[in-house]
Amino acid sequence: MATFQQFAQTCQALSQTQSRLQMAEVAGGFLAQLDLDQAEAAARFMIGRALPVGDEARLNLSGRAVWRVAAELTGAADRGEDIFAEAVDFGDAVEIVMRLRDTEPAPTLSIAEVAARMREIAAAQGRHARRRKLDLLRGLFIRATALEAKYLAKILIREMRHGMSEGVMLDAIAYATGAPIADVRRINMMQGDPGRVLRVLRGDAAAPQSGGLAMRPLKPMLAQPADTVADAFAMLGPELALEHKLDGARVQIHGAAGHIRIFSRRLNEITPSLPEIAELMAARIPNRSFIFDGEVVAVDRQGNPLAFQELMRRFRRIREVERLREQSPVRLFLFDVLGLDDELLIDREYRDRFAILQQTAHAAGLELAGRCLPANLNEGEQFYAAARAAGYEGVMAKRLDSRYSPGVRGRGWLKIKGARTLDLVIVAADWGYGRRHGWLSNYHLAARSGAADQFAEVGKTFKGLTDDQFREMTERLLALKTAQRGGTVYVRPAVVVEVAYSDIQRSPQYECGMALRFARIVRLREDKIPADADSIESIGREFERQILRTPPQPG
C-alpha cells in the first residue's frame, strides 16, 4: 500500500523537472508501481483532481476553508498574512503553517485512504453537510505530514503548479502501461478522466464502443480561432458550414429511456440547475438514447437571448431553482449529435451528423443554432455580417467532412468573432510553473480608475506572448518591482498592453465588480503610457451595452 507521502515526494520531483519526457517518466514510473485502485486515484491527484471528472463540484470546499482547518490545527489562524508573504503559493503556505506543530506525525496515510476520504467529503449532503465535510478534512490534516498537507491542499483547490498537464499525464499513462500514445489519447476522448483511462488500459473496464451509449460525458470538441471568414475558407476549404456563435453556455445532453443528464463544458453534471431543459428533452425524445451538443442561453420574457453573464445566475445553482427558472429563463439550441439510438456518431462526418440532427430535432420540435452553407466567400461574409449586426458573438465555421474529436482543438472547427480589445496596464504578475517556471507569466490587468495614477484590476491572463516575450517581460517587470507576496510580484504601473477579450462579466473577485472573459494579450503598446489606458468607466459603459444587447432568436 503506497503512502501518500510517496505521492507527495513524487509531486515534489515533478515540480523540479521541466522536461516533458522526464515528467512523464517520473509520473509513469510511480503509477506503474501502484495497484489499480491507487493508480487510478494517483493519476487524478497528480493533475489536481480529487474525484473523477464531473464529480469535483460535490466537494464544495473553498481554499479559505482548507486554510482555516490547517491554521486552526497549529494555532496560527492570525498569522495568515505573514505566512502567505513568505510562501510561493497556497500549498506552500499550508506546508509552512503545518510545520509549526510541536511534532510531526509519521507518514501513515495511504493514497487509498485519501481517495476514500475525498469520496466521503463529496458524499456529505444535507443539513449538517458542511460540518461533516470539515470534520473529514480535519481528520486528514491531523494525520498528514507537512508535505502531505501541502499536496492535499493543492489537490483540493485544483492548483498543483508542477507542470503536470493532462497531456503530460497521458504520456505518463502510456509510459506506465506500455500502450501506444495514440490509443491512450483515443481512450481519453471517450472516458474524459485519466483515472478511468488507466483502468481501461490495465484491463479492468471497457471503453464505450459504437454498440452503446454510456450516460457519461464526452469531452467537447474545441475550435481554433480565425480572424475572418476569408481565413476560414482558406483554412477549411470551400466545403464548410457557418453557424451563429451564441453567447451562452455549452451543454452536453445525454438521454436514455426518458432519463436525462446534462453536463457542462467542464463535464460537471448540472441537470438539477436546468430542470426545464431536462423536462423538455424527456418529453420530446422519450424513447430513444442520445447525446446532443448544444448551447443554453439566457432569455428575456419574450424569448430573446441575453448576454452571457445573465445565464450565470442559473448555472450550478441547486437552491431556489424553481424561482430562478421563472426569473431567469433559458433556451436550448442544438448544433451537433454525438450519439443516437445506441450508436456513437463521433466518427461520422459532420455533414452526416448534422443531417441526423436536423431530422431528429425537426421531428421533436427542438431548436437548432442558425446556420448556412455558403456557396462562396461573399455569401459567407454576408452571413457573418448579419450575425454580428444581430448581436451574436460571431460565427463558427465547420468543415463538412470533419469528425467529432472530443477534447481536441483541431482544424475542423473555427471560431470567428468580432475583435474586442482594451489598452490595459500590468500591475502585478505571478511566477509561472512547469514550462513557464522562472518567468513572470500570469499578468494582472488593470484599467485607469479616477486619477491617472490609480488603477483597478479587471482580470488576469497568461496568454498571447511567446517564450522570448515572457523572458523579456520578466526582466522588465522585475525592474519595476515594488513588493512581493507569495508568488505574486507587484510592479509600478508602466507597461501598457493591448488585450483582446470575448466579453465582460460580473465578478465579485474585483472591486470594480467586473472581469474580462478570455483575456489575451495582443501586443505591447510601446507607444502608450499608463495615462493612455482605457478607463474603468468606459469598460462599465461597454458592460451596460452588453447587458442590453438582445439579439433575435437563431434561425
Average confidence (pLDDT) over 51-57? 76
In this structure, is residue 553 part of a structural domain? no
118 falls in which pLDDT band (50, 70, 90)? very high
**Residue where a domain stops, chosen among 382, 400, 417:** 417
Q: Residue 498's CB: how many other CB atoms inside 10 A? A: 17
Average confidence (pLDDT) over 184-193? 86
Task: Identify the weakest region by mean pLDDT among 205-214, 293-302, 523-532.
Answer: 205-214
Task: Identify the weakest region by mean pLDDT among 277-281, 323-327, 411-415, 492-496.
Answer: 323-327
**Torsional sign, CA 234, 221, 265, 314:** positive
CATH of the domain at 525: 2.40.50.140
Could you read off the pLDDT of 471-512 as tens digits, one per residue? 889 988 887 787 788 889 888 888 999 898 888 888 888 888
**Strand extents, DSSP E, 392-510:** 394-399, 409-417, 421-431, 440-449, 451-461, 481-485, 488-491, 496-500, 503-506
Which letter does DSSP use for residue 78 in this model? G
**Residue where a domain stops, chosen among 166, 187, 204:** 166
Looking at the fold, whether 295 and 270 belong to one and the same domain comes out as yes
Number of domains in the chain: 3
CA distances from 406 to 73, 219, 273, 443, 478 (A): 44, 5, 24, 30, 41
Question: Which letter, b or e, does each residue of 460-488 get, where b requires 16 or more Cβ atoms within 10 Å of its Cβ?
Answer: bbbebbeeeebeebbeebeebeeeeebbb
User: Which residues constitute the domain of residue 369?
Assistant: 222-417
Looking at the fold, whether 354 and 434 belong to one and the same domain comes out as no
Average confidence (pLDDT) over 231-258? 93
Enclosing H/E stretch for 292: strand 290-298
pLDDT at position 113 over 70: yes
Radius of gyration of the chain from Cα atoms? 25
In this structure, is residue 138 part of a structural domain? yes
pLDDT of residue 210: 36
Looking at the fold, whether 388 and 497 belong to one and the same domain comes out as no
Looking at the fold, whether 344 and 325 belong to one and the same domain comes out as yes
In this structure, is residue 203 part of a structural domain? no
In this structure, is residue 384 part of a structural domain? yes
pLDDT of residue 451: 56
Residues serving a catalytic function are 245
Half-sphere exposure of 9 (CA within 13 A, CB side): 8
Of 193, 183, 191, give the one whose Cα is nearest residue 208: 191
518 falls in which pLDDT band (50, 70, 90)? confident
Task: Give the strand order in the sheet containing 290-298.
Answer: 259-264, 249-256, 290-298, 330-340, 343-344
Looking at the fold, whether 300 and 380 belong to one and the same domain comes out as yes
In this structure, is residue 121 part of a structural domain? yes
Looking at the fold, whether 146 and 284 belong to one and the same domain comes out as no
**Residue where a domain stops, chosen among 376, 401, 417:** 417
pLDDT of residue 307: 65
The burial class, CB within 10 Å (0-12 / 13-18 / 19+), for 165 is: middle
pLDDT of residue 207: 42
Looking at the fold, whether 408 and 486 belong to one and the same domain comes out as no
Looking at the fold, whether 410 and 323 belong to one and the same domain comes out as yes
In this structure, is residue 490 part of a structural domain? yes
Looking at the fold, whether 439 and 519 belong to one and the same domain comes out as yes
Query: What is d(CA 67, CA 403) in angstroms, rounded to the nearest whole number?
Result: 45
Looking at the fold, whether 306 and 396 belong to one and the same domain comes out as yes
Average confidence (pLDDT) over 516-536? 83
Looking at the fold, whether 106 and 59 belong to one and the same domain comes out as yes
Looking at the fold, whether 272 and 403 belong to one and the same domain comes out as yes
Please provide the average confidence, as pLDDT, over all residues in the chain. 87
In this structure, is residue 191 part of a structural domain? no
In this structure, is residue 394 part of a structural domain? yes
552 falls in which pLDDT band (50, 70, 90)? very low
Percent of the chain with pLDDT over 90: 49
pLDDT of residue 78: 76
Give the predicted TM-score (pTM) of the model: 0.70
Average confidence (pLDDT) over 304-319? 67
